[in-house]
Structure 1
């Protein structure tokens, strides 16, 4: 019997940090204003209550400090629920008044603590007895482990002494439901989707009285062609559809996709590039499936295995649970019991929890090394990823991402060998880059060391603290009495030691490599340093593979031979295990059968395929460093962070990665839609622009011509937007650039996005403008500086109307911020492509300067597209580069003419915009 609950607020000060200084709310209710240096000392001495400790530490210039983080309490009370990790975000989540200043924020944090504890008390009292016991047991365990919130939480739960002790509280796998197996799904039908019924379905989804958008219906009608039966093998119906912002393209393709899935009993896979669009799609699918139960059955979000929580990894973390880890283990238990699908990246796992608790204690439980033991796992029947795979087979709509679709296609199918026949690629302008990543090969120290680790498991000091499982542990009970398989397994384990071992980077830097892989990497690194234009640069270095250093071809040959000695026994092992499927077909249980198939598939994908690619690359070095085939480009690199080497290796990319994309992904399908608001170039010539879209999507490599569809945006861009090119700011003078950002952001009164072509330029501007913006009451967020992931920063930016955000490419492509939270974009300079070895090869292949112009126009087009997301939005796009050539003006919508002005005039027009927006 638990004691009556009581609310026990922690007797510690609250600390809220700004740019110039901070405010502390003492336990006696007094406020103290502190300078930045005083606040840093205060944080170290007082262990205060804060919101998002890593961000506060970064703001105070500290590496770390002891604190009581309210986000941990929020994650315990409201697991699998998100809030903005700021005092204002917490106030909004808890229904408290919106804070106006730092004092208000400090007070809001303490009030939020009280409400969370009250909510925990009342909710636990209303829970079932078993659930309440779990909650109290976890809280007791976390408190015993030194959790700062332990006493307050136990008091709210009415736990006294050892009354909450429960040895099974962490065994969350005991309380998760099992997935069910079903008969194999029949092959998809071939019933067509008619454009007329597509329009009818769209109208039905929109509902009566909805705003009429003829262009949306036209778009849906055009897209429906991808859902006709295929007429010849290898000739899918491909639709390239550019739909201007505001068209409503998401519902436009969901309408025919849903119809086709219903008619043909098979899923349509919708692929996106950003987490933001996956969330948006999840919301839009409510229109197709208004009943929550139907949607849960018919819509599945699918990602790679590395994105999902692994229950075996979690169990091993529990078994190693030490006092200092107890709070994190308990919070992960709370989330695992509450999560919808176990998705840790973009699902219902708050991104800020990784920052607060650390990657090892959070994302560390995902299977990021491909070490799944499949049906040998005691939690196989409850596995999140296995549940998702099975649900996807029976779904109508599967929402995936470009990387998963391409990699699985390259590997010959999805987890069960099946490939969807209908695909929609939204954010189609990312197809080229996604294919580039999926179909490239990298023989680097980190990649090779990871293969060694996959085979051997942890080594040295890592053995005691790692949860990794080597191949011996994954396969030992399957090889049974087969002497051939046992010998092959032993041979693979011995041969894998030719790959880089722990400490390899130090050894090759000091000229003391061990084994053929490290010898090759050491010579490769020496060639990079010898030939790089600026070897003392703090950034990564690269050089061509041609004319290799003396001894490098021989080292490449020795490594190629060593790779062969790894591959051969693994091929024998895989063949021996596969033979069991035939020899013991009558006796093998289905789970064991599935496990054998999984291990053989893993050996092929995790080791044999990379080794084959690496051997081909090494052959080129043996032959003198030239590329074996003109369709590839090879180079050597040393990767660095702040001037410190962390990796070295050889890279091979397709010069045109849409070739393998077309062959592996598009050709096998029956119908494919590739769509985006920025699919075409803006050169001014219609046919040239469409040819650029076909080249960037792989359509040129198909035997049949795609359907081209274009629907203009309904937005009145000439009236509601301006593009200004500032002519009197020197882009190489960071004082001038910083001053320009400051004045423009102040003139817009926030709601401003600053985009940069280099992280160093972003940091330089942040240093110059953060204090004056804070003085003006405009919060400044910055990628690479705020110790928060990009998605969280964008969420904060979207919610806080007067905030400003600085970012690079990921922000340029991933922001969807309608309304007054974004009405100014400032780009530091023309975003020309980086002139590296890979770009040089593509430039030569795709048209020289015209290729540079196309890439740059597309980047500007994508950035401008962030500015207006609704019909009533207004915005100004400012480029701080007087060298912007007029041939790039096609990046902007028809009727929007860039105007060259001085900074003072640009500031005046931004103020004018603010007045118009305020009156709207």
Structure 2
């Protein structure tokens, strides 16, 4: 793109602001640079005074505001401009990341950042001026400018437009749905074949995927060959070909299973679902599949990413939001940016797709993710956008695709609702990150009778009841044109009347203050009373829980009243469901396809969102008087955030969630592959390790044994890694823990990930070490502190080789950072399981102390696996826990020496090991 001189653009006359945790730099309109030391108590006040009189140019306003210790403020955020100029494109939300994406030199430090940000602004406006635009771009910009968008004048000038007189409709230009192509229904595809995949075929396909000249990986080829058993015809009903495959890091298991899976899909003309644990990992699998189908247009037909409906923009929600612009003009600004994205997105996916995650930080969740179908309000074919709907299009594409990239939660929820494909064409699954199948099943098959859940059901049934408080569409609005005859109309009215017994707006305050309204709130009040009366740490900031036994006075009576109230919802809901289903039969000749589809969707929604949920709650209430069935564990809990109650309720989980998983997901399938780098935990007893893995994957519940596959990592862990246990740091002294993190991070020169078992410990350590690290040129980021979502934090950490990142234990398995950007990992203490009521029940089932040890070894193994992602990586793993038992050390690869040393020795060993250079000189390839 040719450069355009800044003088030919209409640049805003505004200062530029950049900030690190220690310093803020202000570049005035006249080119004067002023530095503020943020540790000076006056610095935030002085900056606030400057900001009151102008709109500074900056990058990621919420993060800058947190760093300079003032509330978020209006600004010319360059990320808004980026999202307008380059919709559906990602950049790392820092001055350096923005410059890198635009092909400009990155700043050497915070003092260089304002000048770089100014150049970024000029480049973006220049690109906007030189691009060929559709007619919608100026119209969107005009709508945003009329709403007061700070970038409006500069953007309109770059587009060669003048701001109009405001006579146009406020929504003009925001109607992005009109510019989307429509999809068309097709004839049903044929039933799947059952032709097997031969090992030699899988090896050949793998070689083709790797390409000519690729290094031969014998382990990867062996893996692809071995897992072919999951793609063979099954021999018995209810007995899938079940394969458990542990593939060490570096084997290349993703391409290893893509090879046979893609062959099976092609041979048998049916989709295979590839499932992983997180949305980010779905994106990684999708990127690997570009090797299989390099042509983007062909790939869109053969490969589909599927997520829950709540991940995609709802065009009806978006249209309804645009109507509010007439009253709230400022709403046109975020809606304009969303309209630009709608015009460019591949799939409409707002979580992990091509929607920049940082846009939610800047615009707010309600203006972005609040536009998704989070609440199950879809009216399906009655929606004017049905033929353009991203969700419906994705569902139909998935039916004809070769490979569908899904996540564990979606697979399990869909299976529980009758199958991932109504036509029954999906009978093969690959569960990557298979060590998470247990946790995913635990969430999918649990039941929560809480304030939030019951209030949500009321909203789903009755819609928004408070004037002007949202656009939620109730059941009546969604289906009253379908429930036309007397019985169904009467059942619908009975449901809505009975739903008034569920918590309404303000329930949390009423139950806290002891003035509940209705039977549900009365029970929640009694549960809260019992929790606060019996739980330890009631004056602390964390969640509280107690057993359900020996209920406080009044609780059983409240449970009985709620049981009756729920039954008054359940019975008419059954009648309505039956009446709607009967209509499909009785009017089969008259009903058009769209109406039939709507009725089917309404029946499914009622069955799963109402009938199944209400029945589960009633069963839980019955158990309060009769006792919990052995397969389940029940408890009461108060959920808290920063010491404030956010929810209260009764919770039920399967003690072994792999029981429903095996019945609902595994048995109906013909082949299941569960694969991970960490299926076994390393107790030292190989058979015991595999038996434990079979329990965590559900294999123990099947009639025939699973095929066990293990392929070792090609990495030389004894040469590439060190494991150090620090023996002289008291883990209960946050000053000592912080000092250890500081010196270890200094020794590694950054590139460090610090993991914590509690958010409070993370925050305390961050506050103690951020200044010395930043002053030493080592940027420090932190989860729950920086106003950045986790995806953005990870991208920043990956891109800045000398930065460090602090996060919770949950990050141990969700960060993929190859190379020097992650060369040190420090755990604040052994990540033992939290001693919850649920964990206590599972200890009793799975082996008490040995269960605790297995869970902990797996966590250590997963964390260690973050260190070495390529053949030339080197890394040091440090545990700041002198009480680490030797029996946990099997978590680390064979041959890796584990040293118990003092902090000074650990710091010296870290510095020396990481200063030795990389491994390329030894002939190893990444």
**TM-score (norm: length of structure 2):** 0.96
Deviations 1:144-196 (A, max 9, x none): 00101011101111111428986541111111001111111111100011111
Deviations 1:407-463 (A, max 9, x none): 111122236464620100000010111110001100000000000000000122xx3
Within 5 Å, give how 1:897-908 maps onto structure 2.
897-908=897-908
SS at match of 1:820: helix
Aligned partners of 1:539 and 1:641 also within 8 Å: yes
**Match of 1:142?**
144
Aligned partners of 1:554 and 1:622 also within 8 Å: no
Say if 2:101 is the partner of 1:96: no
Say if 2:332 is the partner of 1:335: no
> How far apart, in 2, do the equivalents of 1:219 and 1:163 lie?
67
> How far apart, in 1, do the equivalents of 2:677 and 2:886 lie?
22
Unmatched 5+ stretches in structure 2:
1-5, 921-926
Deviation, 1:465, is: 3.8
Aligned partners of 2:44 and 2:70 also within 8 Å: no
> How far apart, in 2, do the equivalents of 1:328 and 1:87 lie?
22
**Match of 2:290?**
286
Deviates more, 1:909-918 or 1:259-268: 909-918
SS at match of 2:89: coil
Deviation, 1:18, is: 1.2
> How far apart, in 1, do the equivalents of 2:154 and 2:7 lie?
10
Deviation, 1:292, is: 2.5
Say if 2:128 is the partner of 1:120: yes
Deviation, 1:293, is: 2.4
Say if 2:419 is the partner of 1:413: yes
**Match of 2:697?**
697
Counterpart of 2:43 (choices 38, 45, 52) is 38
Unmatched 5+ stretches in structure 1:
none
Say if 2:390 is the partner of 1:387: no
**Match of 2:3?**
none
Say if 2:800 is the partner of 1:800: yes
> How far apart, in 2, do the equivalents of 1:697 and 1:820 lie?
34
Aligned partners of 2:191 and 2:425 also within 8 Å: no
> How far apart, in 2, do the equivalents of 1:417 and 1:357 lie?
41
**Match of 1:80?**
88
Say if 2:280 is the partner of 1:272: no
Deviation, 1:809, is: 2.8
**Match of 2:472?**
468
Deviation, 1:914, is: 2.7
Within 5 Å, give how 1:844-863 maps onto structure 2.
844-863=844-863
Deviations 1:579-637 (A, max 9, x none): 221222222111111111111111111111100100000001133xx31x111000000
**Match of 1:497?**
500
Within 5 Å, give how 1:10-49 maps onto structure 2.
10-36=12-38, 37-39=42-44, 41-43=46-48, 44-45=51-52, 46-49=54-57
Deviation, 1:61, is: 2.1
Aligned partners of 1:556 and 1:622 also within 8 Å: no
Aligned partners of 2:873 and 2:919 also within 8 Å: no
Relative to structure 1, is the Cα distance of residues 397 and 779 closer, same or farther in structure 2, using a 3 angstrom cutoff?
Answer: same
> How far apart, in 2, do the equivalents of 1:764 and 1:240 lie?
41
Say if 2:327 is the partner of 1:319: no
Aligned partners of 2:203 and 2:225 also within 8 Å: yes
> How far apart, in 2, do the equivalents of 1:606 and 1:714 lie?
47
Deviation, 1:224, is: 0.6
Deviation, 1:274, is: 2.1
SS at match of 1:338: coil
Counterpart of 2:579 (choices 569, 576, 579) is 576
Deviation, 1:275, is: 2.7
Counterpart of 1:509 (choices 507, 512, 532) is 512
**Match of 2:782?**
782
> How far apart, in 2, do the equivalents of 1:840 and 1:383 lie?
45
Relative to structure 1, is the Cα distance of residues 270 and 166 closer, same or farther in structure 2, using a 3 angstrom cutoff?
Answer: farther
Aligned partners of 1:723 and 1:898 also within 8 Å: yes
> How far apart, in 2, do the equivalents of 1:687 and 1:640 lie?
42
Deviation, 1:64, is: 1.7
Counterpart of 1:607 (choices 606, 610, 634) is 610
**TM-score (norm: length of structure 1):** 0.97
**Match of 1:106?**
114
Relative to structure 1, is the Cα distance of residues 416 and 91 closer, same or farther in structure 2, using a 3 angstrom cutoff?
Answer: same
> How far apart, in 1, do the equivalents of 2:468 and 2:642 lie?
31
**Match of 1:763?**
763
> How far apart, in 2, do the equivalents of 1:650 and 1:631 lie?
16
Deviation, 1:722, is: 0.3
SS at match of 2:449: strand
**Match of 1:404?**
410
> How far apart, in 1, do the equivalents of 2:511 and 2:880 lie?
43
**Match of 2:527?**
524
> How far apart, in 2, do the equivalents of 1:918 and 1:34 lie?
39
> How far apart, in 1, do the equivalents of 2:423 and 2:95 lie?
48
Counterpart of 1:186 (choices 179, 190, 199) is 190
Aligned partners of 1:12 and 1:48 also within 8 Å: yes
**Match of 1:546?**
549
Within 5 Å, give how 1:190-229 maps onto structure 2.
190-229=194-233
**Match of 1:54?**
62
> How far apart, in 2, do the equivalents of 1:66 and 1:194 lie?
62
Deviation, 1:357, is: 0.1
Deviation, 1:63, is: 2.9
> How far apart, in 2, do the equivalents of 1:227 and 1:474 lie?
42
Deviates more, 1:796-805 or 1:57-66: 57-66
> How far apart, in 2, do the equivalents of 1:34 and 1:209 lie?
55
RMSD across aligned positions (CA): 1.4
> How far apart, in 1, do the equivalents of 2:68 and 2:413 lie?
42
Relative to structure 1, is the Cα distance of residues 194 and 338 closer, same or farther in structure 2, using a 3 angstrom cutoff?
Answer: same
> How far apart, in 1, do the equivalents of 2:792 and 2:702 lie?
40
Aligned partners of 2:270 and 2:425 also within 8 Å: no
Relative to structure 1, is the Cα distance of residues 306 and 919 closer, same or farther in structure 2, using a 3 angstrom cutoff?
Answer: closer
> How far apart, in 2, do the equivalents of 1:219 and 1:366 lie?
39
Within 5 Å, give how 1:699-778 maps onto structure 2.
699-778=699-778
Say if 2:238 is the partner of 1:240: no
Deviations 1:473-513 (A, max 9, x none): 00111222x11112111111110000001000111111111
Deviations 1:681-721 (A, max 9, x none): 21001100111110110000000100000000000000110
> How far apart, in 1, do the equivalents of 2:168 and 2:179 lie?
14
